[in-house]
Chains A and B, each alone.
Chain A
Amino acid sequence: MLRIEYAYWLLAAFLAAAAWINLRERRLAAAAFWAVLALLFGGGTGVLAADAAGNPLPARIAGVGVLLLALLAPRMRRVQVEEVSPEMRLSSAVRLGHRLFLPALLIPGVTLLVAVLGGYLIADGHRLFAADQMTLTGLALASLLAALAALRMTRAPAPAALREGRRLLDTLGWAALLPLVLAALGGVFTQSGVGQDIAHGVGLLIPVDSRLACVLAYGLGMVVFTVIMGNAFAAFPVLTAGIGLPLLVQLHGASPAIVGSLGMLCGYCGTLLTPMAANFNIVPVALLELDSPYAVIRAQWPTALLLLAFNLVLMSALAFR
C-alpha cells in the first residue's frame, strides 16, 4: 500500500542528495541546511508517533533542528548554479518541440487521476493508496513518474535529475522553507493564545451577534494580518482560530469550507497589497528594473480591492445557508 510516509522519505532522500552535492562543492551552510531538513523529513513520522505515545524527546530534538535551520538560513547565499549552455537548450528545444510539455503535464495529470480514482484501486484485497493524504501521495508518485519520463525522453543520465533538481532547490534556497516555518509559527501562536487575544480584542470591538460584523472582522482581519506578515498562510490559522471558527462557524453556524476558502482568498488580496510579500511584489521590481519599489503594488491594488469586496459579499451570501 502506498502511504504518504513514502513521499516524505522520497523527499528526504532528495534533500540529502542536495546536501551531498553542496558538501562536495564546499557550500557548507547550504549543505548543513538541506541535511537538517532531510533529517526532519526522514524522522518526521517517528517524531509524531513518539510524541503521541508520550515521549516528548524526539519532538524536542526536532525543535532544536528548526532553530538550527533558522540560524543557517541567513548564511545561505544564492549562487548561480551552472546550467547547460543556452545554445544546447535551444537546439534541444527545436529537436523535441511540443513533446517537452508531456512530462510536465504528467505531474498534474497523474495527481488528479490518483485523487479521483485512487480509492477504487485494490490489489490482493488491499487498497493501493492509503486513504490518508491520497492526493499528496499521488503528487509524489506523479513527480517520480514525470522525472523518469523526462529522463527517458531527453536521454539524460539518471543523476541529472538530482543535479537539476538541486539547482532549482538552491535557487529557491531558504524561501522554500518559509511556508513551513510560517505554518509552524501559526501553530505556536495558536498554542500561545495569540488567536484568542485577537479574538478577545475583536469581540470587545464588534457586535458579535451581527453576522455581517463577524464576516467583515474576519475578512478584513485576514487582509490586515496578511499585510503585516506578508503571507496569508501565517494569517489564516491565527485569524481562523480567533474569529472564523468561534464566531462564524460555531456561533453563527457558517459552513467551515466556505469560511476557510474565502477567508484565505481575502488574505490573498492582502498579499497583493503588501511590500512584506517580497517574492511577489518587491523581487519583480528588481528583476524588471523599475524605479519605484511600489510599482507592482500600484499596478495591482485595484484588482485586489475589487476582489476583496467580491469575496466578502460571497461569504455573507453563501456561508450561512
Chain B
Amino acid sequence: MNYWPLLGVAVVIAGFVRRDNPVLVVVVAGVVSGLAAGFSVPELLGLLGTSFVSNRALLLYALTLPAIGVLERAGLREHAARWIGSLRGLTLARLLTSYLLLRQVLSMLGLTNVAGQAQTVRPLLAPMSEATAELRGPPLGDADRQRVRAMAAATDNVGLFFGEDVFLALGAVLLIQGFYATHGIVLAPLAIALWALPTAIAAFVIHALRVLLFERALTRRRAVAAAAETAHAED
C-alpha cells in the first residue's frame, strides 16, 4: 500500500492554515498526490485536464449571472428590501424563521445566488434582526448585538445548505450522479434529490426551534439586566 498520495491531503491542510489562495492550494495538492502516486508529468497533466473538463457542469450556474445582473441594475434588491420592510408584526424569531424558509425554498428552486451573506444578510437581514429584537425593550448590548448578527448569518447558511441539494441541476446532486456514473451506477437526479428532502425538513424544524430558544434567552437576559439596572438605581 502506497500511503504517499496522502501528502496531498497534508498540502490542503497546510495551504488553508497558511491562508494561501484556495484554487492554487487545491491544484498543488492534486499535483503532489499525483506525483506521489507515481504518475509521470504528462500523465498527470492529462489527468488534471480530463478531471477538470469532465466536471465543467459545476460552473453552469454562471449562466444565470447576466439575468440576475440586469435585474439588480433595475432595483431587484431595493424592491425586496422595501417589500420585506413593509410587513408588520415581526418578531426576531418570526423574521429569522421566515427568512430560513424563504432561503430554503429559493435554494431548492436553484436560486442560490438571489440571497447570501453579502447580498442579503449584511444589508437586510442583520439590521432587520437587530431592529426586531429592539422593538420591545431597550437597545441591545454589544455582546447581544453580535450574537443576533451571527445568528442571522448562521440562518442564511443553514437555509442555503439544506435547500440547495434538493435542486436537480445544482452542484451537489450532479456531483453525486457524476461520481456514481464514473463507477458504473446510473441514477436519475430526482432519485438523489428526493432523499435530501427529509433532512431539509429536519433542518428547518431544528433551526427554527433554536431561533425561538435564542430569542427567549435574549429576552430573559435583557430582563435580568434591566432589573439589575433598576435595583442599582434604587440603591
Contact = CB atoms under 8 A, between A and B. Distances in A.
Contacts of A197: 1-3, 5-6
A288 B126 contact: yes
Interface stretch (B87-95, B133-141, B143-151, B223-231): B143-151
Interface of B: 1-3, 5-6, 8-9, 12-13, 16, 20-24, 26-31, 33-34, 36-37, 39, 42, 44-79, 82-83, 109-111, 113-114, 117-118, 121-122, 126, 146-147, 149-154, 156-158, 160-162, 165, 167-169, 171-172, 174-176, 179-180, 183, 185, 187, 189, 191-196, 198-199, 202-203, 206-207, 210
Contacts of B23: 69-70, 73-74, 174, 177-178, 181
Contact of A194 (B6, B110, B183, B207): B6
Contacts of A71: 24
A193 B37 contact: yes
12 contacts: A8-B60, A63-B46, A162-B66, A188-B48, A233-B172, A233-B175, A261-B192, A264-B172, A276-B16, A295-B149, A307-B199, A314-B199
Interface in A8-40: 8, 10-11, 14-15, 37, 40
Contact of B73 (A4, A44, A154, A314): A154
Given A135-B168, A262-B195, A296-B154, A65 B49 contact: yes
Could you say which interface size class chain A belongs to? 35 or more
A268 B162 contact: yes
B166 to A, nearest CB: 9
A165 B206 CA distance: 36
Given A136-B174, A299-B151, A56 B46 contact: yes
Given A74-B21, A168-B68, A86 B78 contact: yes
Given A47-B50, A56-B42, A265 B154 contact: no
Interface string A165-181: 11111001011111111
Given A69-B23, A164-B72, A51 B46 contact: yes
Contact of A115 (B153, B169, B185): B169
Given A161-B70, A188-B33, A272-B158, A310 B199 contact: yes
A264 B71 contact: no
Given A59-B49, A101-B76, A143-B63, 10 more contacts: A48-B53, A63-B44, A88-B75, A189-B5, A197-B3, A197-B6, A299-B150, A307-B199, A310-B199, A310-B202
A84 interface: yes
Contacts of B5: 189, 192-194, 197
Nearest to B25: A70
A228 interface: yes
A185 interface: yes
Contacts of A172: 62
A257 interface: yes
B110 A66 contact: no
A191 interface: yes
Contact of B203 (A136, A146, A174, A303): A303
B47 A188 contact: yes
Nearest to A277: B157
A264 B161 CA distance: 10
A73 B20 CA distance: 11
Contacts of B176: 236, 260-261, 264
Q: Which 9 A-B pairs have the closest CB atoms?
A: A164-B69, A93-B75, A187-B51, A62-B49, A63-B45, A165-B66, A192-B37, A108-B109, A70-B27
A4 to B, nearest CB: 8
Contacts of A4: 57
Contacts of B46: 51, 56, 59-60, 63
A291 B146 contact: yes
A106 B114 CA distance: 13
Contacts of A249: 185
A182 B15 CA distance: 14
Contacts of A192: 5, 8, 33-34, 36-37, 39
Contact of B26 (A104, A106, A107, A182): A182
A79 interface: no
B165 A147 contact: no
B60 A181 contact: no
B78 A187 contact: no
Contacts of A306: 206
